[in-house]
Structure 1
Amino acid sequence: MHIGVIGCGMVGLTTALELQKEFRNAQISIVADKFNEDTCSYVAAGLFRPSTSFTGPTKDITYKWIQDSYEYWDNIRRSSEASKAGVCQLSGYIFSKVNPSIVRNEFLEKVLPIYRQADERELRLCQGDWKYGSFFTTILTESKMFLPYAADKFIQQNGKIHSQNIESFSKLQGKFDIIVNCTGLGAQNLCEDQQLVPIRGQIIKVKAPWIKMAFYGENDTYIIPGFEGVILGGCRQYESYKTEICQYDKMSIQERCYNMLPSLKKSQFIRDACGLRPHKSIVRVEPEFYDTKTNGKLKIVHNYGHGGYGICTSPGTAKYSVELVKDLHSSSNLSKL
């Protein structure tokens, strides 16, 4: 059997690796036109903190995706591969001046080893009249390190990576027995999915080695230390296709982050970055028999629409999508009997 994965961002790579684990005798190939720094995954902060807005088809499935994802990242964190893969443990705070529900997260409270209410002293760790807060311990994945690590691991396990722009599923007719679509925002055209929209994000990366914890505030404000620096963010601009750095957004990010931690004014600038998060109100992980109109139907499993939570939740949706591939493969075998 030959399975093709379209897309080589975080979702595509974790899905391809999971397929290799489950189908040891199959040929798994990745087909993509964007790699590493050209993917949306490369820009992401990579902190495991899926929002309560992250939604699968049911509440139980959503929780399973989050739980499976955390176990995946935590297993890497505890392994000898952690430093190479760019995975580590990180603690942080989320603060609010408005509503206590903003700092609560029922999924994370069940999954993370620590997720608790912040006390009065902790509310004063950052400038601002914070009224509510939570402390948590979670996982950080540095995409810049994990993407090449995962690609190398995939190739070492006899995986093949092809550089090609796929404009239509019909172009893959006869090449693969099953296709897994992990094209992110590319699925907007490939699947004619107008419910998939970009949410633009912009960040600043700085050197501030004295920052050892993550901090979240309101208005999509966050300060997240990583392997090579500290990410300052951010913005969440619905249905914006702008990929250029906006100086107004940059000034807003600086003002909000500096107000939380004034010491950041002394940080050393590394770079600006922005990306378009592929958002769908309900993340699409489902099978489809795609009618090519001329050469029959293709068996496809879709896995896209994670919004700003593709890094942290990709292992869970990868595992789920592989189960759907197994179902399609089983139905093919049964049809031959």
Structure 2
Amino acid sequence: MIKMDNNSTKIAVLGAGVVGMTAAKLMQDSLRNAEITIIADKFAEDTTSMVAAGIFRPGTSFRGRTKEITQKWMRDSWDYWQDILRSSEASNAGVMQVDGYIFSKDNYHVTRNHLMEDVVPLYRPVEENELKLCGEGFKYGSYFSTIKAGCDCYLPWVERKFTAQGGKLSKSKLESFASLTRKYDLVLNCTGLGAKYLCDDHDLVPIRGQIIKARAPWLKTAIYGDYDTYIIPGMDGVATLGGTRQYDSYNLNVCRHDANAILERCCEIVPSLKKADIVGHKVGLRPHRVPVRVEGELINSLKVVHCYGHGGYGVMCAPGTALQAVQLGIDLLKSNTKNKI
């Protein structure tokens, strides 16, 4: 990545979820003396990112404009999280190593993941005896080694680092890009589902997710099953139980029927969860777009780089997409006017 020193450059990052926060910090590391402001109407616990379990296991439908771009996002994201994991800041940032299983009673193909298999250190078919770890009837499975980044720790951690180096935060709701034209040299648009309205992007669709937080400190391994069932341990002993994947739903209310179904499916796989204390229920709207939009654009005279549409994979894939967005932003700052990069 090209690094520049420019104390007159003013940059706005729109959105304070995992994508926006990560992009802002990466931009700050690249443009040491630029004035960078994160503008958002929601921070920390109010963001969709806080609902996510944050495990590095992208869905196989996740993609950028090309296969090569998608693969680079995966590798760059993995390296970013691994750098934190190997540092003394891992626990403060909420990054931990976790192993996982994915089981299925009906479909072998759902236990494979071409986006992960060539990135994580271990991804293998399960042994025959491992199929019995989650009860009867499972025919297929894979075991993998990965990482988890909890946004309850990561977002405050990266925000502290950003502000400690002079980054600014502004809580406000942006209705259009027009108000930013004369104030900033560059804008990174990381508004997630908000981009549907800000950019009039009809390709961006919410996918509703509901999860349960349960205190189960004895769980050390992530487990996936059929029907969007997953059990993901947390660093603090609170596991994430899921889930739902409801296309084009804007319902942010907790549904007791979804909660009952989630708990029933998870307890069927891991019976010990029946004794777990329920900490809470959460709902988030994942910003789903195919492909994920990472591209530069001139809106009137304003230089904008879009980085949104990650669906349910924003936490794990934020660094890779943010790195590309930052590079596009640097290129835009150095370039003459063009309609699109």
Shorter-chain TM-score bucket reads over 0.9
**Cα deviation per residue 1:59-116 (whole Å; 9 max; x = unaligned)?**
0100100110011001101100001000010001001122221111122111001111
Partners in 1 of 2:45 and 2:53 — Cα distance?
13
Aligned counterparts, 1:235-314, within 5 A: 235-291=244-300, 297-314=301-318
Partners in 2 of 1:168 and 1:222 — Cα distance?
38
Partners in 2 of 1:308 and 1:107 — Cα distance?
15
Aligned counterparts, 1:50-129, within 5 A: 50-129=58-137
Which residue identity lines up with residue 102 of structure 1 in the other structure? Answer: V
Q: Do 1:11 and 1:314's aligned partners in 2 also have CA atoms closer than 8 Å?
A: yes
Partners in 2 of 1:71 and 1:105 — Cα distance?
18
Q: Do 1:198 and 1:279's aligned partners in 2 also have CA atoms closer than 8 Å?
A: yes
Of residues 141, 159, 164, the one that matches 2:167 is 159
Q: Do 2:213 and 2:279's aligned partners in 1 also have CA atoms closer than 8 Å?
A: yes
Question: Unaligned 5+ residue runs, structure 1?
Answer: 292-296
SS at match of 1:242: coil
Partners in 2 of 1:44 and 1:272 — Cα distance?
12
Question: Unaligned 5+ residue runs, structure 2?
Answer: 1-8
**Cα deviation per residue 1:18-50 (whole Å; 9 max; x = unaligned)?**
101111121111111100111000110000001
Report the counterpart of residue 196 of structure 2 in structure 1: 188
Which residue identity lines up with residue 297 of structure 2 in the other structure? Answer: E
SS at match of 1:154: helix
Report the counterpart of residue 294 of structure 1 in structure 2: none
Q: Name the Cα RMSD after superposition.
A: 1.2
Partners in 1 of 2:171 and 2:312 — Cα distance?
25
Asked whether 1:178 is paired with 2:186, we answer yes
Which residue identity lines up with residue 143 of structure 1 in the other structure? Answer: C
Aligned counterparts, 1:129-140, within 5 A: 129-140=137-148
Q: Do 1:173 and 1:298's aligned partners in 2 also have CA atoms closer than 8 Å?
A: yes
Q: Do 1:204 and 1:273's aligned partners in 2 also have CA atoms closer than 8 Å?
A: yes
Report the counterpart of residue 323 of structure 2 in structure 1: 319
**Cα deviation per residue 1:269-306 (whole Å; 9 max; x = unaligned)?**
10110100000011000011112xxxxx2110000000
- Alignment size in residue pairs: 329
SS at match of 1:121: helix
Identity %: 53
Partners in 2 of 1:193 and 1:107 — Cα distance?
26
Partners in 2 of 1:219 and 1:333 — Cα distance?
48
Q: Quote the offset at 1:53 in angstroms.
A: 0.8
Which residue identity lines up with residue 305 of structure 2 in the other structure? Answer: V
Partners in 2 of 1:114 and 1:250 — Cα distance?
33
Which residue identity lines up with residue 309 of structure 1 in the other structure? Answer: Y
Partners in 1 of 2:177 and 2:82 — Cα distance?
35
Partners in 2 of 1:88 and 1:17 — Cα distance?
20
Partners in 1 of 2:14 and 2:278 — Cα distance?
35
Partners in 2 of 1:329 and 1:89 — Cα distance?
38
